[in-house]
Homo-oligomer: A and B are copies of this chain.
Amino acid sequence: MKTHHVPQPPTPRAPGDDALPGSAPPAPVGQGADGPPAPAATQGREAEVLLERTRALVDPRLRAAVASLPGSIRRVAMYHFGWQEVDGSPSSGPAGKAVRPALVLAATRALGGDQAQAVRAAVAVELVHNFTLLHDDVIDEDRTRRHRATAWAVFGIPDAVIAGDAMLALAQRLLADDPSPAGIRASARLSSCVIELCAGQQADCAFEDRGPDEVTLDECLTMATAKTGALLGCACALGALYAGAGERAVGAMDGFGREAGLAFQLIDDLIGIWGDPARTGKPVGADLVAHKKSLPVVAALTSGTPAAAELATLYQGSMNTPGEVSRAADAVDRAGGRDWAQIAAADRMARAVHHLSRAVPDPARAGDLLTLAEFVTRRTH
């Protein structure tokens, strides 16, 4: 999953997108149980507080786990996490926001568990997330992350691949060493999730080699679910396991995180086309310039409209002038790709909320998870 750790614009506003996740969650689940839903700005601050509290709990354990790695691997890991500069001096670079660890702990709390018991699982999930970032940057040849050079760009491909491998193994060791009976169940789920993440990343790479009209929307949704939804779902499921939940609640928690993750991806894809460069830190239509077969683009390409054919032609060319990029964005819009993505995001968020209501029947307990899901999808941070 690619995350953008640069300031992001709010959900793109277009006529008729009132149903987007940026608006209040559907009743009756959510903070509404204690009164009317909080305004968006308040929810954003609530999410920041949740994330900050998560980092206070999780960071020391995450750092201790990474410190246990052999020296040369630790150096790469600490650079990647933004804790050290290349020369080993302390760094004040921006670290991850800890969305996934926050989901783990919030899921445990929501099901009446003791979040202190789940910190280990939160660390494991964050390690797996960063394992995927290290390897994805190698695979995608991305040279920048969080405004710094990526690990492979600094240390070379071998060290970045090896550091990723070691982080994955470290995550598994944390769970296997857990005296809690949840450890082994969490380990099995996390391993299955990693296989799904691999399938998603593989599909994403394969799509790039295929023609504009050779990727179906179903394939694209499956890929995005695997690459983005699976780990958010797994985070929530692990939290449920550490609350001692049964398979049904664990599965529903997975569904909640998974659907929220897909909503996030849809909105991220919209921002990749129509995001404000001043806020995204990326050029206009960055995903179009990169010929990315993102969800709105594939929805447009497979729409059977005249605009789809126009878009396909643009995707077969170099598309490196502002005029071409603008025409491509317009074609996605006219082919219905923009509307589709906005409606699909709202739909996925509604499904997420439905799953959550099954996992956590008491709405008063579901507030933090909803706040985090809104935070992830609204992207006002």
The residues of A with any CB-CB pair to B shorter than 8 Å are: 69-70, 72-73, 131, 135, 138-139, 157-159, 161-166, 168-170, 172-173, 175-177, 183-185, 187-188, 191-192, 194-196, 198-199, 201-203, 205-206
Question: Assembly of this chain: how many copies?
Answer: 2
B192 and A184 contact, CB distance less than 8 A: no
A135 and B159 contact, CB distance less than 8 A: no
Cβ-neighbour of A73 out of B159, B173, B202 (below 8 A):
B202
CA distance A170 to B193 in the complex (A): 10
Cβ-neighbour of A70 out of B161, B162, B195 (below 8 A):
B195
Residues in B neighbouring A187, C-beta threshold 8 A: 172, 175-176, 184, 187
For residue A190, give the distance in angstroms from its CB to the closest CB of chain B.
8
B177 and A161 contact, CB distance less than 8 A: no
CA distance A199 to B199 in the complex (A): 27
A202 and B159 contact, CB distance less than 8 A: yes
Among A166, A170, A198, residue most surrounded by chain B Cβ atoms (within 10 Å) = A198
CA distance A356 to B173 in the complex (A): 27
A72 and B194 contact, CB distance less than 8 A: no
Interface on chain A toward B: helix, strand, loop, or mixed SS? helix
In the complex, which residue of chain B has the Cβ closest to the Cβ of A186? B176
Residues in B neighbouring A191, C-beta threshold 8 A: 169-170, 172-173, 176
CA distance A194 to B169 in the complex (A): 6
Residues in B neighbouring A135, C-beta threshold 8 A: 161-162, 165
In the complex, which residue of chain B has the Cβ closest to the Cβ of A183? B184
For residue A171, give the distance in angstroms from its CB to the closest CB of chain B.
8
Cβ-neighbour of A170 out of B166, B176, B177, B195 (below 8 A):
B195
Write 15 A-B pairs (CB below 8 A) sorted by A numbering: A73-B195, A73-B198, A73-B202, A138-B161, A139-B157, A139-B161, A158-B202, A159-B205, A162-B198, A168-B194, A173-B188, A173-B191, A173-B192, A175-B187, A176-B187
For residue A72, give the distance in angstroms from its CB to the closest CB of chain B.
5
Other CB < 8 Å A-B pairs besides A70-B196, A135-B161, A135-B162, 14 of them?
Answer: A70-B198, A73-B195, A139-B161, A139-B162, A158-B202, A159-B202, A166-B195, A168-B168, A169-B194, A170-B191, A176-B184, A176-B187, A177-B188, A183-B184
For residue A237, give the distance in angstroms from its CB to the closest CB of chain B.
14
In the complex, the 10 A-B pairs of residues with the closest C-beta atoms, listed nearest first: A173-B191, A169-B194, A70-B199, A176-B188, A176-B187, A166-B198, A139-B158, A172-B191, A169-B191, A184-B184
For residue A154, give the distance in angstroms from its CB to the closest CB of chain B.
15
